Structure formats: C-alpha cells, structure tokens
Amino acid sequence: MSAALSDPAATARRALSLLDLTDLSDACTASAVDALCRDARESGVAAVCVWPQYVSQCGRGLAGSPVRIATVVNFPAGGEDVERTLDDAREAVADGAHEIDLVLPYRAFLRGDEGVARDMVEAVRDICARTVLKVILETGALESPERIAAAGRLALSAGADFLKTSTGKSPVSATPQAAEALLGVLRGHEGRPAGLKVSGGLRTLADAATYLDLADKLMGPGWVGPKTFRLGASSLFSVLRDAAGAGA
C-alpha cells in the first residue's frame, strides 16, 4: 500500500490543501464559477483555476480568503503568438490573477526551435513580475523523460516558478514517469526555488497519493507544500472532500 494511503483521510486533507480547484470546461458558466469559489472557500484548497474571463468574478467571490486565483494563457493549443499571449497575460494580471498557467509552445520545442519556446516564457515572465508563473509543458506530447526534462530545464531557466505537466486536454496527461522526470530537474536546480504542478487525469485518492509519495521520496520530507507542489484537477475535488470528511 502507498504510504500516503495508510491514512486515507489525512492524505485527502493534505491533497486538498495542495489542490488547484479547476473549471476549464467548455461549458463553464458564471454560476459554475460562483459554486467553485464557494467550494474553494469552504474546503481550504490552494487555488482556483479558471478561464481568464472569470478572474474578476473570482476576485469578488474569494475576497478575504487565502485561496489564490490562477488562470491560463496560450491555452490549450500552446501556439506561438507571443503578442496575443502577452495581451492575455496583462489583462489577467490587471483583473487580479495571482498565478498564470502558460502553455509552452511545445510543438516549437519538439521541432528544435527552443528559442521560440524560451522567448515566450521570458516575455510572460516580464509581465508576471509579481505573479506566480506556471509553465505547462504538455508532457504527454513530449513523451520521453529526456525531452520532458529538457523542456523543464528550459522553462526554469526562462523564469518559471512551477513546472506543470499537462493541460488536461491532450490524449495523454500526467503520468508518474513525467512527474519523476520533472522532480529530478527540480532536485538538480540551483536557481531560485521552484515547484511542480501535476495536472490532467487525476481522479482518485490513489492518484493523489501516488504523486505525493513520489514527491516525498524524491524531494524529502517537508518539501511538499502549496508553494512548491500543486495538484490540478476538477473531478478529484469531491473525492478528496468526501474522504477528508470521512476521517473527521
């Protein structure tokens, strides 16, 4: 049994504190965002993650709460239009976003145009001087641990505060192998502190426990916390809430 599952309720409470409670569905509505903010306030998650048009609404719904507001840019396609991405990032920051989740131009990276990928991360970093920047690598498309690690190193050197596995919109999302590759990059990183966000395909308490165990094993006790480790999910929330309540 996973060490993290030896006490399911405690694991669920721990995972909730690290959760980016997410609604990036095509059917997302203002009323759904109100419900998301209510759930976030009541459960003590780390952040909500919503489409840019809902950032201001989250600011009102989460006023006075420690829950942070994250949004996405260049999402989910990971295109190469730097100016459009910068405009979106500026607007999101002006609307009150605390965190920006930027999709790396991963197709450019795959074809060897690392400069295109680096330029976008650096440009958004400049916009997000006081905003946490998470760079989504779309690890399912990168496939190999070597390419995943190389993309992670590029993102860190260009200013990422977090490496994030996936958009959740691709055929292959987060995997333990991808997370292990990125934790290895973080472990060897000698610059400012940075973290990992595991996102895409997390649906069960066992999923959350797998990644918590992996981070604890590779990074050591005490490393995992909201400033260094996040779980990005939508359907996982109710599972964690129910499991946490069962042990109350």
Q: In this predicted model, what pLDDT tens digit does every residue of 110-126 receive, in sequence order?
A: 999 999 999 999 999 99
DSSP summary character for residue 68: E
Phi, psi (rounded to 5 degrees) for 77? -70, -25
60 is a domain residue? yes
Structural domain contains residue 80 = yes
Distance CA 117, CA 94 (A): 24
Look up the domain containing 131 and give its range: 3-243
Contact (CB, 8 A) for 11 and 5: yes
Summarize pLDDT for 170-229 with one digit per residue, the tens: 999 999 999 999 999 999 999 889 999 999 999 999 999 999 999 999 999 899 999 999
| Inside any domain, residue 248 | no
Q: Which residues are catalytic?
A: 101, 164, 197
For residue 105, say if its preceding peptide bond is cis, omega within 30 degrees of 0. Answer: no
Domains contained in the chain, number: 1
Report the CATH number that the domain containing residue 191 is assigned in CATH: 3.20.20.70
Q: What is the C-alpha separation between 10 and 71, in angstroms, rounded?
A: 28
Three-state DSSP at 201 gives: coil
Global pTM? 0.96
pLDDT at position 246:
72
- What pLDDT score was predicted for residue 183? 98
8 A C-beta contact, residue 226 and residue 15: no
Query: What is the mean pLDDT of the segment spanning 78-82?
Result: 98
Compute the mean pLDDT over every residue in the chain, rounded to the nearest whole number. 96
Does some domain include residue 100? Answer: yes
Question: What is the percent of the chain with per-residue pLDDT over 90, rounded to a whole number?
Answer: 93
Residue 142 — very low, low, confident or very high, per pLDDT cuts 50/70/90? very high
The contacts of residue 161 (CB under 8 Å, 6+ apart) are: 132, 133, 134, 194, 195
In this prediction, residue 247 carries a pLDDT of: 58
Distance CA 248, CA 243 (A): 9
- Average pLDDT estimate for 123-139: 96
Q: Is residue 14 part of a domain?
A: yes
- Residue 248 has what pLDDT? 55
Q: Residue 104 carries which DSSP code? A: P
Give 5's pLDDT tier (boundaries 50, 70, 90): confident
Pairing of strands 47-50, 68-73: parallel
